[in-house]
Amino acid sequence: MSLIYVLNGPNLNLLGKRQPHIYGHETLADVEASCRTLASELGHELRFHQSNREYEIIDWIHEARENGVGIVINPAAFTHTSLAILDALNTFEGPVIEIHISNVHKRESFRHHSFVSHRADGVIAGLGTEGYQLGIRRVATMLKTQKTTDAKWSTGSN
């Protein structure tokens, strides 16, 4: 089984308690449980982390370079501020999907810019916590497509 990392930024530990009118009533533990179930159904393992500290997210991205095949990341407020997370993601060779529970484009203007989007292979915003499952599905699809393409090249069937 290949390992997909799901990384969460600051304040997501308060999911379900903080601004439920924006982020919903589901907790991060609920999101993790549904992500684990889906990843298993798709034949993948999951590492699910949350931190309010930028350096821990960077460390997990570095860990993913060695152990992971894809990253689904909700960088939260670090989306708009962290060149360091962008730099770390730029060292990762697998698919990266950026997700946001709320539609950041309907919110304050400072939320409209994402450093992470410069590296992300896709961005999911405004679909609630379902965005996590969609991100995992997209990583799995990208990995399957990559394996098929790699197999064609290695067998010379192109």
Where do the structural domains in the chain lie, given as residue ranges? Answer: 2-154
Question: What confidence tier does 152 reach under pLDDT thresholds 50, 70, 90?
Answer: low
User: Which range among 82-86, 110-114, 119-123, 130-134 shows the weakest confidence by mean pLDDT?
Assistant: 110-114
Q: What is the mean pLDDT of residues 11-25?
A: 85
Residues forming the active site: 23, 100
Domain 2-154 belongs to what topology? Answer: Rossmann fold (3.40.50)
| Separation between Cα atoms, residue 23 and residue 14, nearest integer Å | 10
H or E element in which residue 46 lies? strand 44-50
Known binding-site residue numbers for substrate:
74, 80, 87, 101-102, 111
Q: pLDDT tens digits, residue range 19-54?
A: 777 777 899 999 999 999 999 999 999 999 999 999
- Indicate the pTM of the whole model: 0.89
| Separation between Cα atoms, residue 93 and residue 63, nearest integer Å | 12
Known binding-site residue numbers:
74, 80, 87, 101-102, 111
Packed helices 130-155 and 28-41: angle between N→C axes, nearest 10 degrees:
30
